[in-house]
Structure 1
């Protein structure tokens, strides 16, 4: 089968289309013929060597974590799924495995039936950012109409899901986004929208119960200026050194720095599927064919777009 992989850390130039063996499955796994997989920031953080302490340095490495496709084979103990089912899911170890291939073998517990309302591209966009968004909401504790929440980077893949989940809970949201993203933030019912190309969020002189930095550019030091005396800052893109430092600093301040680490679990996916049934809007910014993998990753890494970037695999890839 064809797969996107790389033999060394580096830019998109190290990405290659390789021939790899079609994966064999164990008794608890299913073999999925992939129709689409999404691109996430973790993909290039691993590829650039920023996560090598966790990913290791053994090559080749595949890229991609979440996907959607059709089950081609099931293991003897992989119950609840059948050959021909349309599903979406995520690889077990984001640091060691990859979904950027024509086939993937995954535990049956990490796939779910694709809602009919979603395309393969939309379903492939859910697991990683969706799980992170549900985890973020969980970390926030009780959220209600009195909750004042600022989301910096509110219309990217993660922000798109988070904003809508919070609105389903009635939160008062200030969305920081680009000019292109402003119309989507309004569509998703953000109470206030700040176009970062026209003004800085600090100029608003407002304070918040929760500040979420999805851009990775704000930082806790800046966030503290906008936080209420008892509040939290959620950081889903920490530098490795920030994890222990945040734990230590939280002992001495009521403005808590929460490093967000998430794992795909069925309970999180059930929340997402419920949100989909209530009209969760999943915007696909651009779909690239499998053969244009370098262009796809180059585009995704530039950022500044609304929604998700996805690659699709045709039957004659």
Structure 2
């Protein structure tokens, strides 16, 4: 089988498509024939060496976190799935390995694919969808009639965060580029701010939750946009930021929360049910496995509307 791997940290040039043996499975595992794999910013942060503390520095390493596919084999202890089932899932966010023709997983790593969603769109669900759920339901604890600001609302997480926040009854202000205005309105945002025409820090409003998905707005800058007992959510974990958030949250009513994705079976199930009803999945572009370098290069350098995925044969 083919698998994307790398033997040193660097840019997209370190990614290699190599031949590997199809992995064997243990009695509590399943072998999945991969149909599509989502591209996530965390991917290039890991292979670029920015996340060494979490990913380690031992090579070779693999790429790709979330995927869709078909169950090819099951171990004797597997009870929830059978051969031929269509599934979505995700691997360890710092180790990857989904960009391969086959992956070995545990039952807790996967969920049934939403029946009404294509394999390409389904691959875009797990990482960003679970991130959005964790941000809206846990970190920000968004509820009815709360005012929520989502900065970077048309990216992968933003796509789902806007929709889920609206489902929770919030009033959503989405900050986007000009090309994202119509999409944000379509997803249900009550107010849309085009940051090319209006600076976010000049908004004359305060919010119960400020969610920064662009990595451009700092907690210090966001404080003027926050109500006295509000939450700021960042998607940039680092030891220093985690320490600062711990100290800040002990003494300040304005809380700093940091997303560290914690996948769960319940989360994947909730996500699947949302996708089977009316959760919209938007694909910016699809790529073939042979164009993996181009796929990551374009995704890293350009603003993506929704998600991009790599489709396997």
Per-residue deviation at 1:303? 4.1
The 2-side partners of 1:282 and 1:96 are apart by: 25
Q: TM-score, normalised by structure 2?
A: 0.97
Name stretches of at least 5 consecutive residues in structure 1 with no aligned partner.
none
Per-residue deviation at 1:142? 4.9
The 2-side partners of 1:142 and 1:161 are apart by: 14
1:64 corresponds in structure 2 to 64
Q: Is the 8 A contact 1:7 1:61 kept in 2?
A: yes
1:7 corresponds in structure 2 to 7
Q: TM-score, normalised by structure 1?
A: 0.96
* 1:194-273 pair list within 5 angstroms: 194-273=193-272
1:173 corresponds in structure 2 to 172
Moved more, 5-14 or 240-249: 240-249
1:22 corresponds in structure 2 to 22
The 1-side partners of 2:273 and 2:139 are apart by: 19
1:51 corresponds in structure 2 to 51
Name stretches of at least 5 consecutive residues in structure 2 with no aligned partner.
none
Q: Is the 8 A contact 1:23 1:103 kept in 2?
A: yes
1:135 corresponds in structure 2 to 134
What secondary structure sits across from 2:250 in the alignment?
coil
Cα–Cα, structure 1 residues 299 and 142, in superposed 2: closer, same or farther, change >3 Å?
closer
Residue correspondences, number: 312
Q: Is the 8 A contact 1:178 1:304 kept in 2?
A: no
Deviation beyond 3 Å, 4+ runs, structure 1 = none
1:300 corresponds in structure 2 to 299
What is the root-mean-square deviation of aligned Cα atoms in Å?
Answer: 1.1
The 2-side partners of 1:294 and 1:121 are apart by: 19
Per-residue deviation at 1:260? 1.5
The 2-side partners of 1:4 and 1:219 are apart by: 34
1:158 corresponds in structure 2 to 157
Per-residue deviation at 1:266? 1.2
The 1-side partners of 2:182 and 2:304 are apart by: 12
